[in-house]
Amino acid sequence: MSPQNDSGARHSNMPGAGATLEQWLSYLESIHPSEIDLGLDRVLLVLRRLFRRNPLARIITVGGTNGKGSAVVAIEQLLIRAGRSTGAYTSPHLQHYNERVRINGSNVTDDSLVRAFERVESARGNTTLTYFEFGTLAAFVLFEEAGVEDWVLEVGLGGRLDAVNVLDPDLAIITSVDIDHVSFLGDNREVIGFEKAGILRPGVNAIYADTDPPASVLQQASAQKVHLERPGETYQLVPTKNDGQAANVFILRQARYGDEVRLPDTGLPVHSLAAAVVAIRQLEPGLELAAIEQLLAGLALPGRYEVLSASPRVIADVGHNPHAADWLANRIGRQRKAEGRVIAIYGALADKDVEGVGRAMSRVVDRWYLAGLEVPRGLSCQELAARLTGIIGEASPALSSSVGEALENALAEATQDDLVIVFGSFFTVAAARDALGK
């Protein structure tokens, strides 16, 4: 699509003076013909109008299939602990758009976002931008205005053609590569890995957080002479032992430092936390190990293995693809009580591999509640049940029209020894958090 394509919406429904954030977000949804339109030309054009020079800040770009949000929040908080000022950009949000843009650890205000949207709108002219592209540029505006020293940016989709990739990073992190967003990124790890590796830059250090990088990522790193840190190669992740049994706590060892960092069990992916520590020791080598361990011990992220209720235990996780579901099933398997059941509330979008998710989670789930999502691309409970027939091992899962209804029914059935897990989408988790007053 031409960078100069004019949707015609700019002049017909542009928010006026005093418009609310909600009005601006509705407008952002209307100014581009498609929700996702990968490519950098339009974003680059508007970026050059917004900024006369590249940002003076240090830029850390985080891509990958799963674990990006955990890596971003860990790096952000570690940088703050080191005395740096930060801007963090993530997506999507759970309940409020402001969650996507944080300055020094705090969500920006509605007024700040509206002011940034107005600047982007003024700069774009007749160039159409998607909702995500517009929001990405607005985050850049806010970080530049605040003069923060470090920008920690989460890639939205893929890497090579994602709007975040218009900026060259000083450090790039790829958390994992697995199958997701097939219609945009491809249907195998090698093709997807090539897209994710698009955030690498010649000679710029990078980290691959998982243990099994696709050959395409390694080839791109080699071709661009990127020093690629990765577990099992340049650093080691060693599980601790307790009476001969592996525990959920890992020790991070980097031979160059001759010491070790304890990674506590916080419910966030350990490989993402390890990558954050490897990153911070490059970026801020003066930060003491005790400070790193103390901060990680208290780290949490809404919607990432988040405890919503203690009795019975209700946990919410935004995992929505087979790779994330496999991680979730493994963790549940380690934490469930022998005398209790695992009751799952699952709601999903139509373009997700719900069959793969169902197969992964069926290893640990005893009782299924399938919930409808009344959002764009959301599956009804009947559609979800049809796709999972013969996969989840339960002939008659409970069907509910909404997550709230499913949660109410599941809690009425659950005992104190049961574990209730709500998962499958940001929309699913957001609805559960609303239902429980979070």
CB 132 within 8 A of CB 67: no
Cα–Cα distance for residue pair 276/295, rounded to 1 Å:
12
Candidate from 146-155, 235-244, 378-387 with smallest mean pLDDT: 235-244
What is the predicted pLDDT for the residue at 192?
A: 96
pLDDT digits (tens, 9 = 90+) for 38-72: 899 999 999 999 998 989 999 999 999 999 999 99
pLDDT at 14: 86
Neighbouring residues of 346: CB distance < 8 A, sequence distance ≥ 6: 357, 358, 361, 368, 369, 370, 371, 384, 423, 424, 428
CATH no. of 306-435: 3.90.190.20
Residue 33 pLDDT greater than 80, yes or no: no
Q: Is the pLDDT of residue 185 over 90?
A: no
Residue-level pLDDT at 36: 82
Among 156-170, 256-270, 417-431, the range scoring the smallest mean pLDDT is 256-270
The pLDDT assigned to 84 comes to: 98
DSSP letters spanning 389-409: TTTSS-SS-EEESSHHHHHHH
Distances (CA, A) of 24 to 16, 31, 247: 9, 11, 48
Share of the chain above pLDDT 90, in %: 84
The answer on pLDDT for 228 being more than 70 is yes
pLDDT (tens digit per residue) in 253-264: 999 999 999 998
Phi and psi (nearest 5°) for 412? -65, -30
Give pLDDT, residue 8.
40
Whether residue 79 has pLDDT greater than 70? yes
What is the side-by-side order of every strand in the sheet holding 101-103?
A: 106-107, 101-103, 86-89, 150-154, 58-63, 171-174, 206-208, 228-229
Q: Of the ranges 33-42, 127-136, 367-376, which one carries the lowest mean pLDDT score?
A: 33-42
Q: Residue 265's pLDDT is what?
A: 87
Is 268 in contact with 301 (CB distance < 8 Å)? yes
pLDDT for residue 248: 67
Please report the beta strands in 58-205, taking only residues with DSSP state E, as ranges in sequence order: 58-63, 86-89, 101-103, 106-107, 150-154, 171-174
DSSP assignment of 217-277 = HHHHHHHTT--EE-BTTTBEEEEEEETTEEEEEEEEEETTTTEEEEE---SS-HHHHHHHH
Q: What is the pLDDT, as a whole number, of residue 337?
A: 83
Identify the band that residue 329 occupies on the pLDDT scale cut at 50, 70 and 90: very high
The CA distance from 164 to 174, in Å, is 14
Average pLDDT for 118-145: 96
Which class in CATH covers the domain with range 9-297?
A: alpha beta
Whether residue 164 is predicted with pLDDT greater than 50 in this model: the reply is yes
Tell me what pLDDT residue 138 has: 98
User: What's the confidence (pLDDT) of residue 4?
Assistant: 45
Domain 9-297 matches domain 306-435 at the CATH topology level: no
**What does the pLDDT read at residue 157?**
92
When the pLDDT of each residue in the chain is averaged and rounded to a whole number, the result is: 93
d(CA 341, CA 364): 9
CB 410 within 8 A of CB 345: yes
In terms of average pLDDT, the best of 242-251, 343-352, 390-399 is 343-352
The domains of the chain are located at 9-297, 306-435
**Alpha-carbon gap, residue 65 to 67, rounded angstroms:** 7
Could you tell me which residues come within 8 angstroms of residue 105 by beta carbon, excluding any fewer than 6 positions away?
76, 77, 80, 86, 88
**Residues 57, 152: contact at Cβ < 8 Å?**
no
